[in-house]
Amino acid sequence: MNADINVVGVLLAGGLSRRMGGGDKNLLQLAGQSILSRTIARVTPQVSTLILNANGDAGRFASYGLPVVGDVIDGFAGPLAGILTGLEWASANRPDCQWIATFPTDAPFLPENLVAKLMQAVAAEGADMACATSNNRTHPPIAVWPVRLKNELRQAMVDEDMRKIDLWTGRYSTAHVAFDDPDMDPFFNINRPENLDEAERYLAQSGSGN
């Protein structure tokens, strides 16, 4: 972890992985390492603290040595619940951190400058938050969020039953930051078995396994 960066990293693993047949797809092996291990290695240097947002038995992630925090909204309410969980956890446990960064746990090729560029965009544009894009696609769960909006998000989820990230972020100014790579989309995510095969081929062709 980087103690000089006052950002809490939140790994979003609260989903049901239906397209992979259920279970924890982030624990699947990719070139000898779990997908989750690869994601952790990418994001750890970018944040001051890292937590794992996951529901169910926390023991299955014990070997990773991270705080495992279940959704603060019941019913598998999606990534927005994970964002709220991260905001409330940071407020309670790291009051020195005014921001969180959220990452999917099925994207093993995340940029190593992701958080820095998102935070730079917030400052440059005076935005409320910043979200990553690639190849003209927006990735709403890959973003930085101010802890000051935690109460507003809770109200939207509880009182309005809001579940879509875009609906909530539409209320605020959001900077969009492009991360483009001609070889592999840095936000390539493993949703289906064929995606895992594609990631294996990419790593084999790149010759590094990293």
User: What pLDDT score was predicted for residue 74?
Assistant: 87
User: What pLDDT score was predicted for residue 125?
Assistant: 97
70: number of Cβ within 10 Å: 15
The pair of structure tokens assigned to 131 is: 């979200």
In CATH terms, the superfamily for domain 7-206 is: Spore Coat Polysaccharide Biosynthesis Protein SpsA; Chain A (3.90.550.10)
Cα separation, 57 vs 62, in Å, equals 10
What pairs with residue 175 in β-bridges?
A: 130
User: What is the chain's alpha carbon radius of gyration, rounded to the nearest angstrom?
Assistant: 16
Report the amino acid identity of residue 81: A
User: What pLDDT score was predicted for residue 20?
Assistant: 38
The pair of structure tokens assigned to 209 is: 């396994």
User: What pLDDT score was predicted for residue 92?
Assistant: 98
The pair of structure tokens assigned to 143 is: 């973003």
Cα separation, 19 vs 17, in Å, equals 6
The answer to whether the CB of 36 falls within 8 A of the CB of 53 is no
DSSP-derived secondary structure letter, 173 = -
What pairs with residue 69 in β-bridges?
A: 53
Mean pLDDT of residues grouped by 10 in the chain (210 residues)? 83 62 73 88 96 93 94 89 97 97 93 96 98 95 98 97 95 96 86 82 70
Cα–Cα distances in Å, from 167 out to 137, 162, 170? 17, 8, 5
- Domain parsing of the chain, residue ranges: 7-206
User: What pLDDT score was predicted for residue 22?
Assistant: 52
User: What pLDDT score was predicted for residue 152?
Assistant: 98
The answer to whether the CB of 117 falls within 8 A of the CB of 125 is no
Residue with tokens 């970018």, as numbered in its chain: 46
The answer to whether the CB of 112 falls within 8 A of the CB of 45 is yes
Whole-structure pTM value:
0.91
The answer to whether the CB of 179 falls within 8 A of the CB of 133 is yes
User: What pLDDT score was predicted for residue 208?
Assistant: 56
Sign of dihedral through CA atoms 121, 156, 139, 16?
positive
Rounded-to-5 percentages of helix, strand, coil across the chain? 40, 20, 40
